[in-house]
Amino acid sequence: MNSLQNKVALITGSSRGLGKAIAERYAGLGANIVLNYTNNKNAADQVLSNIKAMGVEAIAVQADISKPAEITRLFEEAKTAFQKIDIVVANAGVELVDVPVENFTEEQFDKLFTLNTKGAFFTLQEAAKHVSDGGRIINISSSTTVYPFEGVALYGGSKTAPKYLVEVLAKEIGGRGVTVNSIIPYAVSDAGIFTDPTEPSIKWLIEANPMKRMAHVDDVANVAEFFASDLSSFVSGQHLLVNGGASH
């Protein structure tokens, strides 16, 4: 079994969904946790309670990841609380689908690129500055960056640039023994926007997948566990698809 005993993990956007699942997985492996949320303090407090019940230490920090100054403050508060950061997961993001290129607006562009691109870039930058030697940096991407389809130009586009940064950063800080990787999930049934099984788009996603299902948060947490552990110590600059063998 992997152990993250005495490690400190910071996960952005961790009051719900994938971020919550990853934070709770790391806590179960012994890591102390820095949770992050934007607005929903009640949800963050519930996750904080769940994690502390596992016998580890944890804090929840409100910070808007679309604002670099708040990202900086998040890392400063984490270092103040725990003196170090060993694992960073850049997870915070927003989804948008079913919007053709001819229809998307400047407001939608700004919303997605400010959080999914700018937020991820500055989170990864702060991670590079603060993560311990031998640490782990993980970017949560999207399978739309690998298999484009109609209606996801803004979302897939906003998630593509951070993948490039992952490859550059892996080269720049690899000498410190730090690994930098992306997880690329398929549509997730118990997180994000794909939660209504009666929706035609969800039925299509299930039928089009060789395993005849969508991803679950635990599927993504499994890979996040691998990338955070010693098992991945020589895996860096990579983008791992978690998509059940789908080719779309």
Q: How far apart are CA 199 and CA 203, in angstroms?
A: 6
> Given strand 239-242, what is the order of strands in its sheet?
58-62, 32-37, 8-11, 85-90, 131-140, 179-185, 239-242
Angle at CA 15, nearest 5°, toward 213 and 79?
Answer: 125
DSSP string computed for 151-187: T-HHHHHHHHHHHHHHHHHHHHHGGGT-EEEEEEEPP
Residues serving a catalytic function are 141-142, 155, 159
